[in-house]
Structure 1
Amino acid sequence: MSVALRLYEQLTEAPDERTKARLIAEAFEQLEERYPQLKDVATQSQVRETELRLQKEIKEVEARLAMEIKEVEARLVTEINKLAVEIKSVDASLRLEIRSVEVKIAETRADLIRWVVAVGILQTTLLTGVLLKIAHLI
């Protein structure tokens, strides 16, 4: 026999209202003992309320994240612009340094050519002098 049918029979056989109330209370108590999680079951309106609250919180978080993303993007753009200026400065400095090194290389090359020519003339003069001396001795 089902619990509901048994309760029905007990209620129909109950002599007075007080006994019927006690039987109903006992039935609820048995139901709560058998299904303790029933105390924690939410109603449809509670679930809907929670859903709406969560949707609101999600929108707030999305808005906050969008704002933070824009702030980060702005900081990144600023930082990128600073780096671009710094890169241009370093590039200009390197170009000046390279130009200076090229000038020094050209000067050194000119000095080296002068020395080679001078040594060549000196060597030719020396050889000519030695040959004349040898020719004069003979």
Structure 2
Amino acid sequence: MSSVIALYEALASAPDDKTRAKVIAEAFERLEERYPHLPDLATQGHVRESELRLQKEIELVRADLKADIEQVRAELRETELRIRKEIEQVRAELKADIEQVRADLRETELRLKKDIEQLRGEIKTDIEQLRGELKTDIERVKTDLLKWIVPLILAQIAATAALVKLL
């Protein structure tokens, strides 16, 4: 407060307007030295103007964000639909592949059954052929044995009769 009184006394004691103007200029210079940031201070009008400008910018950013969010949501829905279609396509392909494998399996099974039946028939034929050959061999061996046994029995009977005569 003493600086205000000193300014008043200097102005009151100044002899002319030029000296008063110099005193006022020096007072402003001291004020600027004491508060160097004073010219940079914003007034209430400046603050209100900045606040309104910032609110407009915030609204613009909100609108941009809403648009971006809607765009991302639309892209997400599009991606989800595309992925669902791909899943359905893969599912259909897998079903077709499974049916093809089943058909191949049934075909292979039928072919194997046919091969097994054919082998059974061949084996039965081979067994019947071997059975016939064995019967033939048995009959031949039987005939050969009879050819040898009958003369041996007769020779044994003759030898026994000769021994009985000798005794």
Which residue is 2:124 aligned to?
124
**Structure 2 counterparts to residues 13-52 of structure 1, below 5 A:** 13-52=13-52
- Return the offset for 1:78: 2.9
- Return the offset for 1:54: 0.3
Structure with more relative contact order (C-alpha pairs < 8 Å, separation 6 or more): 1
- Cα-to-partner distance string for 1:15-37 (whole Å, 9 max, x where unaligned): 23332221111111122123221
- Alignment length (residue pairs): 138
Which residue is 1:80 aligned to?
80
- Residue aligned with 1:15, SS: coil
The runs of at least 4 aligned residues of structure 1 exceeding 4 Å deviation read none
The 10-residue stretch of structure 1 (6-15 or 28-37) with the greater mean CA deviation from structure 2:
6-15
Q: TM-score, normalised by structure 1?
A: 0.83
- Return the offset for 1:43: 0.6
- Residue aligned with 2:37, SS: helix
The 10-residue stretch of structure 1 (5-14 or 96-105) with the greater mean CA deviation from structure 2:
5-14
- Cα-to-partner distance string for 1:90-137 (whole Å, 9 max, x where unaligned): 322321222122111111011112212222332233234224323421
In structure 2, what is the Cα distance between the partners aligned to 1:88 and 1:16?
Answer: 99
In structure 2, what is the Cα distance between the partners aligned to 1:120 and 1:30?
Answer: 125
Which residue is 1:111 aligned to?
111
Unaligned runs of 5+ in 2: 139-167
In structure 2, what is the Cα distance between the partners aligned to 1:105 and 1:2?
Answer: 111
- Return the offset for 1:69: 1.8
In structure 2, what is the Cα distance between the partners aligned to 1:41 and 1:22?
Answer: 25
Which residue is 2:93 aligned to?
93
Q: TM-score, normalised by structure 2?
A: 0.71
Aligned-residue Cα RMSD (Å) equals 2.2
Unaligned runs of 5+ in 1: none
- Return the offset for 1:83: 3.2
* Percent of residue pairs identical: 42
